[in-house]
């Protein structure tokens, strides 16, 4: 299975602080997604990224969130001013095959804890 | 609206038995479905997928069945092993290309 990597594995922050979550996707793919999973709940879509632009975003992805591709390969998810309810697992995902954008492979996730 | 849900939150089976995990979806226009396995503290792991032009697809020890008439999806695991213990999610592709996940079924395999 194609491998997506994420760092850090666990991030603890104080409410109101900014956090940046990082992901190294499967290389040479144009599609990219961020999801989150609050403990014990289902996985929820945040944002999709296609060809270096945001393609779609959910209601969760408000002005406090942003996505960037700072160096042409890695992706970042930034939360500008974290809230307690932002505590969750954050997953990046992207397709493993450039001709098949549907089968999404997930990274191991970053556990964000907001205190 | 679009929604995906699971019939049972937990399923307990004996090692060696077959497991069946069910899922209902509401959007009759959905054309792609996928099953993931999630172990504690890990990301969702792809198991198998199916497109709406198919009724059945088989993988290694797993089979996905799609019944578009009643908007029902199932995952069958043959000869369930302790390593199959996990939470299983079904998901459908939404209109935005993202995946819409169900709530998950926890599978416990008794030795």
* Residue A51 backbone phi and psi in degrees, to 5: 55, 45
pLDDT of B98 higher than 70: yes
Q: How far is A6 from chain B (nearest CA, A)?
A: 10
Which residues of chain B does A58 touch, with a Cβ-Cβ cutoff of 8 Å?
98
- Provide the 10 A C-beta neighbour count for residue B53: 8
User: To probe the interface with B, which of A26, A42, A54 has the most B CB atoms within 10 Å?
Assistant: A42
Q: What are phi and psi of A62, to 5 degrees?
A: -90, -165
Least confident of A1-5, A12-16, B105-109: A1-5
> Hey, what are B63's tokens?
């089979």
Supply B12's token pair: 């307990």
Summarize pLDDT for A22-42 with one digit per residue, the tens. Answer: 998 876 677 889 999 998 889
Is there a contact between A108 and B97 if contact means CB atoms under 8 Å apart? Answer: no
Kindly report the three-state secondary structure assignment for every residue of A53-87: EEEEECCCCCCCEEEECCCCCCEEEEECCCCHHHC
Q: Please report the pLDDT score of residue B79 as a whole number.
A: 97
- Name the pLDDT band for B5 (thresholds 50, 70, 90): low
User: Is A108 in contact with B93 (Cβ distance < 8 A)?
Assistant: no
Hey, are the CB atoms on B98 and A58 less than 8 Å from each other? Answer: yes
């Amino acid at each position: 299975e194609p491998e997506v990597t994420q760092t850090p594995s666990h991030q603890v922050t104080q409410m109101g602080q900014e956090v940046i979550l990082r992901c190294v996707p499967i290389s040479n793919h144009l599609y990219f997604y961020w999801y989150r999973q609050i403990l014990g709940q289902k996985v929820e879509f945040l944002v999709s990224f296609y060809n270096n632009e945001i393609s779609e975003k959910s209601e969760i992805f408000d002005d406090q969130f942003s996505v960037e591709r700072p160096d042409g390969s890695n992706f970042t998810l930034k939360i500008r001013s974290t809230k307690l309810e932002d505590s969750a697992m954050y997953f990046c995902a992207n397709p493993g095959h450039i001709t098949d954008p549907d089968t999404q492979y997930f990274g191991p996730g970053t556990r964000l804890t907001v205190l | 609206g679009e929604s995906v849900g699971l019939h049972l939150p937990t399923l307990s089976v004996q090692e060696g038995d077959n497991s069946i995990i069910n899922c209902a979806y509401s959007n009759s226009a959905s054309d792609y479905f996928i099953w993931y396995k999630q172990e504690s503290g890990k990301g969702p792991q792809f198991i198998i997928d199916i497109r709406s032009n198919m009724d059945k697809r088989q993988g290694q020890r797993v089979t996905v069945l799609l019944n578009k008439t009643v908007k029902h999806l199932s995952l069958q695991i043959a000869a369930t092993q302790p390593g199959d213990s996990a939470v299983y999610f079904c998901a459908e592709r939404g209109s935005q290309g993202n995946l819409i996940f169900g709530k998950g079924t926890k599978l416990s395999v008794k030795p």
